[in-house]
Amino acid sequence: MSVIAAGPVIPTFGKGSSCVTGDHTFCWDWVRAHWGDTLGPALWQHVELTAIAVVIGFAIAFPLALLAHRYRRLEQPFGIFSALLYTVPSLALFQLLVPFTGLTWTTVEIALVSYTLVILFPNIVQGLESAPDDVIEAARGMGLTRLQVLTRVELPLAVPAIIGGLRIAVVSTVAIATIAAFLLPTGLGYPIFLALKEPTPFKTEIYSAGALAVALAIGCDGLLVVLRRVLVPWASKGLA
Amino acid sequence: MLADTATMHTFVDAARFIGNHTGLLATKTLEQLALSGAALGIALAIALPLGVVLGHFHRGSTIAIAASIVGRGLPSLVLIAAFLTVLGIGFVNNMVALAVLGSGPLLTNSYDGVERVDRDAVEAARGMGMTGWQVLRSVELPLAIPLIFTGIRVAAVTIVATAPIAAIAGGGGLGDIIVNQASYRLSGVLGASICVMLLSALVFAGLAGVQIAMTPRGVRRTSVIGEPQRREL
């Protein structure tokens, strides 16, 4: 057997410095050396996972919210359904989808989209309903049709709540997407997952990937705050 | 794609796994509840009083905002892995990580609940000669109960739902089965996933019931369940 000739396999943690082989608290040289093959791609995959989930989630939640706003009776059942769905642990949801769609990107996205959906829907509905009644009556009195009231009064007034919902959705999705690594070698969860599988967890990899995930969440949140400042300057006081 | 026979069989196998391994599943469920309970206990003991006190004195809104960001933005996997490097593998590191995770909504909501109590009500109580402690105990806290309890519920569900992830860091519980497909096969993984799902749904529903029962009638709102997730302070 030729396998024997290969000799024993000794894990070396790559061609690491003394910092890496000694597993010191944080090794910048490891981060520099593995940005190209590990951290960079993982960050990019994470951005992709999050962006696709939020965009699709919004594309589904928005028309549903318009429907629920038009036909109020739909709101309560969907609200309860989404509250229950939000209690489903992400790890369990990912696993339960596997028999249907396999260990695929689709499985991960279905789960992530479900979570963004249950965050976005109530926020959009709440935003649409935030227009004061007398404002709507005034608009009606000026001769605006129902559609015009929606597009010119209710939607602009709903923008702060919608962006608020998007902020929660993006930040939560960044967090939940790390769990996708249990199914697929993708996203910032995967380096963490690998680091935990080592006989002694490799600290630098955990800290650097973890910091990137947190930075991504904060960065996206900041971008949405800026977007709100630009779109609805009247509704922006402070950072909250 | 939906319910073809292979998929059906997978779920039948999962149901059979649950039926054949009730003892194992019960043990793992209790493990998970013990871990979650300990974490929630710590979070309750620290975050709840802190939020209430900060809210009473209208101080530290930055802390409350930071807590709400921590509650949402810190991926549980990152938190668990980071604490593992400091505290080692096992019960303690998972308990601390889950407690931190649960502290976010607890601190935010207890701060928010007390801080937002109608100033007029507080002034009236002061005018009646109540001390700060009496105002807190008989005016602010009862009025804050709905928000505080929502915080407790969110924290409890977050902790119970995240506890399976702790299995990769020696946390035990149902997650042990979910992350170990090599031993338990797909049927076991799915069976345990179903149990995890039911467990958090039960915790959610149970606490919603307690919340309705505990809320003073005067401040009861129409819907406890369908509240939108919110972030603003």
**Cα four-point dihedral sign B203, B206, B209, B215:** negative
Contact criterion met (CB < 8 Å) for B223 and A76: yes
Dihedrals phi, psi of B58, to nearest 5 degrees: 50, 45
**Cα four-point dihedral sign A137, A142, A147, A149:** negative
Interface test with B, best of A95, A123, A124 (most B CBs within 10 A): A95
Say if residue B225 is exposed, middle or buried (CB neighbours under 10 Å; 0-12, 13-18, 19+).
Answer: middle
Which residues contact residue A192 at a Cβ distance below 8 angstroms, ignoring those fewer than 6 apart?
A: A178, A181, A205, A206, A209, A210, B77, B78, B81
175-204 in B: which are within 8 Å (CB) of A? 175, 178-179, 186, 189-190, 193-194, 196-197, 200-201, 203-204
| CA B26 and chain centroid, separation | 21
Contact criterion met (CB < 8 Å) for B189 and A95: yes
Q: Measured between CB atoms, which of A79, A87, A174 is closest to B200?
A: A87
B116: chain A residues, CB-CB within 8 Å: none
Contact criterion met (CB < 8 Å) for A178 and B69: no
Place of tokens 């919340």: B211
B223: chain A residues, CB-CB within 8 Å: 76, 79
In a domain, B59, yes or no: yes
Write out the two tokens for B59.
Answer: 């101080």
C-alpha dihedral (B230, B231, B232, B233), degrees to nearest 10 = 110
Interface test with A, best of B17, B36, B77 (most A CBs within 10 A): B77
What is chain A's pLDDT, residue by residue, as a tens digit (240 residues)?
344 445 555 555 555 667 776 677 777 777 777 787 878 888 999 999 999 999 999 999 999 899 888 887 777 787 778 777 878 888 888 888 888 888 888 889 999 999 898 889 888 988 898 888 888 899 999 999 888 989 888 998 899 889 989 998 999 899 899 988 888 888 888 888 888 887 777 788 888 888 899 899 989 988 998 998 888 887 665 444
Which residues contact residue A30 at a Cβ distance below 8 angstroms, ignoring those fewer than 6 apart?
A: A16, A17, A19, A20, A204, A205, A208
Is the distance from CB of B110 to CB of B180 less than 8 angstroms?
no
Helices A155-177 and A203-231 cross at an angle (nearest 10°) of 180
- Our CA angle for B43, B213, B222, nearest 5°, is 100
Which pLDDT score, from 0 to 100, does residue A141 have?
Answer: 92
Residues with pLDDT less than 70, chain B: 1-3, 69-71, 218-233
Nearest CA in chain A to B195: A92
Which pLDDT score, from 0 to 100, does residue A52 have?
Answer: 94
Which pLDDT score, from 0 to 100, does residue A13 have?
Answer: 52
Which pLDDT score, from 0 to 100, does residue B221 have?
Answer: 54
In a domain, B155, yes or no: yes
In one-letter notation, the amino acid at residue A145 is T
- Separation between Cα atoms, residue B116 and residue A163, nearest integer Å: 23
- With CA atoms as reference, report the closest residue to B7 among B174, B179, B187, B184: B187
The 8-class DSSP code of residue A10 comes to -
CATH superfamily of A50-187: MetI-like (1.10.3720.10)
Is the distance from CB of B36 to CB of B171 less than 8 angstroms?
no
Rounded to two decimals, the ipTM of the complex is 0.79
In a domain, B228, yes or no: no
Q: What is the CATH number of the domain that holds B156?
A: 1.10.3720.10
DSSP string, B156-211: HHHHHHHGGGGGGGT--STHHHHT-HHHHHHHHHHHHHHHHHHHHHHHHHHHHHHH
- Tell me which residue range forms the domain holding B179: 23-218
Place of tokens 């931190």: B100
Is the distance from CB of A187 to CB of A181 less than 8 angstroms?
yes
Which pLDDT score, from 0 to 100, does residue A110 have?
Answer: 92
In one-letter notation, the amino acid at residue A91 is L
Say if residue A195 is exposed, middle or buried (CB neighbours under 10 Å; 0-12, 13-18, 19+).
Answer: buried
Dihedrals phi, psi of B118, to nearest 5 degrees: -45, 120
Please report, for residues A3, A4, A5, the alpha-carbon distance to residue A8 in angstroms, rounded to integers and kept in the order given. Answer: 10, 8, 9
Which pLDDT score, from 0 to 100, does residue A5 have?
Answer: 47
- Separation between Cα atoms, residue B130 and residue A179, nearest integer Å: 50
Is the distance from CB of B149 to CB of B215 less than 8 angstroms?
yes
Domain ranges of chain A: 50-187
- Separation between Cα atoms, residue A234 and residue A221, nearest integer Å: 19
In a domain, B133, yes or no: yes
B67-115 pLDDT, tens digit per residue, is 776 667 788 888 888 888 888 888 888 899 899 989 988 998 899 889 8
Which pLDDT score, from 0 to 100, does residue A232 have?
Answer: 83
In a domain, B122, yes or no: yes
Length of chain A, in residues: 240
3-state secondary structure A18-53: HHHHCCCCCCHHHHHHHHHHHHHHHHHHHHHHHHHH
**Cα four-point dihedral sign A222, A226, A231, A237:** positive
Q: Domain tally for chain B?
A: 1
Q: Measured between CB atoms, which of B65, B197, B228 is closest to A92?
A: B197
